[in-house]
Amino acid sequence: MDIKDCVPAPMRCGNRVFYWGERTYVMGIVNVSPDSFSGDGVSDFESAIYQAKLFAKQGADIIDIGGESTKPDYLPVSIEEEIARVVPLIEALVGNIEIPISIDTSKAEVARCAVQAGASMINDVWGLRKSPELVKIAAEAGVPLIITSNQRDNQAEDIMAAVILDLKAKIKMAESGGISPENIIVDPGIGFGKTPEQNLEIIRRLTELKSLKKALLLGSSRKSFIGKVLDLPENQRFEGTAATVAIGIANGADIVRVHDVEQMVRLCRMTDAIIRRKG
């Protein structure tokens, strides 16, 4: 299959238009959850503002704000607490950075408040399993929705078949609920209910997901399968992350979600120069 034959239509997000296939877009992670798996979580407001503005200056195309950890043993927070963590931050950033803001949540109420505050994308790592109502919220607001294939509580032996089947079902649900086809982004869910070997297999076979004809997000940054391969803690997984990002781009990733924005922007530019012939 030729990746060029599976390029989705351009997508508008906030005041930006994303032209898939021309270059790789970088999503910078801002976690306002103190128990973030990667150790990058910030709990004070000013530090979060600074980090988001820094990422925008360093070349991020989207800022993804999350108020609840998504690691396997995470401690759930209440809807009220999550809203209190993310909404004031979104309100402070809208108009102060030029790039779109994404809300990383699986709670419909949080997503609704975040979009009202100015978020222009919803990132659901539970792939509509926890809140199908996210479809209605995204459709009514006209904002893109990232759908993740999450195998937690439902692990699969044939991982690529499971991911593709899951994403096809969720795409159908989203489109039937009124979301424009170009506003759906798919994420294979690296680290979400997969074994380390399955995570490696997904990156190796990422091209197969292009058959879905949706923009493809890869979120491999600092994750535990890298730590297993390299026997390194979260804060020493930069090179391992870089390898997964470069190979992911070669295999069709359109967006990469990362912690180390400045370095990954450079890596994407170099990889695009080779793969997409964009200097």
Which residue in this structure is represented by tokens 């030029």? 98
CA dihedral 169, 174, 180, 181 (to 10 degrees): -10
CA distance 13 to 143: 7
Among 223, 228, 266, 277, the one annotated catalytic: 223
Tell me the pairing of strands 11-13 and 16-18. Answer: antiparallel
Distance CA 95, CA 85 (A): 19
278 is catalytic: no
Annotation marks residue 257 as catalytic: yes
Q: Cβ–Cβ contacts within 10 Å for residue 130, how many?
A: 15
Six-digit token pair at 53?
Answer: 């503005």
Helix (H) or strand (E) holding 138: helix 134-141
Annotated catalytic residue, options 210, 214, 222, 257: 257
Kindly report the number of other CB atoms within 10 A of residue 155's CB atom.
12
Q: Residues with catalytic annotation?
A: 223, 257
